[in-house]
């Protein structure tokens, strides 16, 4: 595995221009990968679709389903004097089912609701957005890493990130779209560096 510098673009023409600039800067074509990153939730990582085993906000719904089912069954049993023994069984089952549905919905958090984890949300690692990606595998030499960052930055790349992976024949073979990004921080202006080993 090697260090990979990647950036996101919105237009195919930007990708084409960036690819040409990377080749001009000395990077080999088979160590540069260009591809489209789907929006979150559309990476089809599970056979039934989606990126995660549970929908966001649904983690707490299981407890609420159980509590709602118990409450609904209790209401059904309480109806024994009115409905009789047969009605109690039917009422208990229907009550448990409806209670479970209501409990499950009430236990789900709204998407983006930090709930009890507001502090964790402030320190959350940024997730990847959809768009055209340009990624380049760089040697361990810091000069090439800086050069790749500067080419992507001068081309207008958004969310320039540093990752570990393998690019073979122009394909980032172990790219994981749901892995949080390690964004590159830089403070220079938009001009290209005047010499090597200037860190981003």
| Residue 185 binned pLDDT confidence (cut-offs 50, 70, 90) | confident
Does position 135 have pLDDT exceeding 90, yes or no?
A: yes
Predicted TM-score (pTM) of the model is 0.56
Mean pLDDT, residues 110-133 = 63
Residue 113 CB partners (closer than 8 Å, separation 6+): 57
* Pair (17, 40) in one structural domain: yes
| pLDDT for residue 195 | 39
Range of the domain at 103: 61-107
In the block, which residue shows the tokens 């990153």?
A: 37
What's the pLDDT tens digit per position in 151-167? Answer: 999 999 999 999 999 99
pLDDT, one tens digit per residue, over 142-152 is: 789 999 999 99
pLDDT of the residue at 187? 42
How far, in whole angstroms, is CA 74 from its chain's centroid?
Answer: 42
Has residue 187 been placed in a domain?
no
Q: Quick one: 76 and 167 in the same domain?
A: no
Cβ atoms of 113 and 57 within 8 Å: the answer is: yes
Does 198 fall in a domain? no
The answer to whether position 177 is within a domain reads no
Cβ contacts of 61 within 8 Å, gap of 6 or more: 104, 105, 107, 108
In a domain, 75, yes or no: yes
Claim to verify: residue 97 and residue 9 sit in the same structural domain: no
pLDDT of res. 28: 94
For residue 168, give the CATH number of its domain: 3.30.70
Same-domain check for residues 68 and 163: no
pLDDT at residue 125 above 80?
no
Contact 95, 75 (CB under 8 A): yes
Q: What is the pLDDT of residue 181?
A: 87
Domain count of the fold of the chain = 2
pLDDT tens per residue, range 33-72: 999 998 876 545 545 555 445 555 555 555 555 665 565 5
Do residues 29 and 68 both lie within one domain?
no
Residue 130, pLDDT > 70, answer: yes
């Amino acid at each position: 595995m090697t260090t990979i510098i990647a950036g996101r673009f919105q237009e195919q023409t930007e990708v084409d221009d960036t690819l040409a600039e990377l080749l001009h800067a000395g990077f080999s074509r088979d160590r540069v990968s260009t591809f489209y990153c789907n929006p979150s939730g559309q990476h089809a990582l599970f056979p039934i679709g989606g990126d995660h085993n549970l929908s966001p906000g649904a983690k707490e719904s299981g407890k609420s389903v159980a509590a709602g089912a118990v409450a609904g069954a209790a209401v059904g049993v309480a109806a024994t004097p009115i409905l009789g023994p047969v009605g109690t069984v039917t009422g208990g089952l229907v009550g448990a089912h409806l209670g479970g549905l209501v409990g499950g919905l009430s236990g789900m958090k709204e998407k983006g609701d930090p709930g009890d984890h507001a502090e964790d949300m402030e320190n959350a690692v940024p997730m990847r957005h959809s768009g055209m990606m340009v990624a380049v595998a760089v040697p361990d030499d810091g000069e090439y890493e800086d050069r790749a960052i500067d080419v992507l930055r001068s081309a207008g790349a958004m969310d320039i990130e540093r990752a570990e992976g393998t690019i073979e024949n122009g394909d980032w073979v172990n790219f994981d779209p749901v892995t949080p990004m390690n964004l590159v921080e830089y403070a220079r202006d938009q001009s290209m560096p005047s010499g090597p080993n200037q860190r981003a």
